[in-house]
Amino acid sequence: MFDIDGVYNTQNDRVWAVDRADADKNGGTQQKRKFPQKVMVWLGACSKGLTPLVILDEGTVDHTVYIEKVLPVAL
């Protein structure tokens, strides 16, 4: 599952500044949405190539969804 905001680790980014204005000028703060948009995809990969990409609807992928949407593409 991917979210649209991307991935970043706030523990790896540091800004050394004397005050808040200086920090904002040199990189500021990272903001992350509380509930970002997401997309769930399925892709098979091996040494012989790739399967077509399957974009799944929002929600849980249970055995029914897997059998109906993923297996026809994977097999």
Question: What pLDDT is attached to residue 47?
Answer: 94
* pTM more than 0.85: no
Q: What is the CB-side half-sphere exposure of residue 62 using CA atoms within 13 A?
A: 3
The two counts, helices (H) then strands (E), for the chain are 3, 5
**Strands 38-42, 54-56: parallel, antiparallel or unpaired by DSSP?**
antiparallel
Residue 36: is its pLDDT beyond 60? yes
Chain position carrying tokens 């098979």? 44
pLDDT band at 74 (very low <50, low <70, confident <90, very high): confident
Where do the domains of the chain lie? 2-74
CA distance readout (Å), 54 to 15, 36, 59, 61, 74: 40, 21, 14, 12, 9
Question: What pLDDT is attached to residue 31?
Answer: 67
Percent of the chain beyond pLDDT 90? 11
- Digit-coded pLDDT (tens) for 4-32: 666 666 666 677 778 878 877 776 666 67
Chain position carrying tokens 């680790």? 9
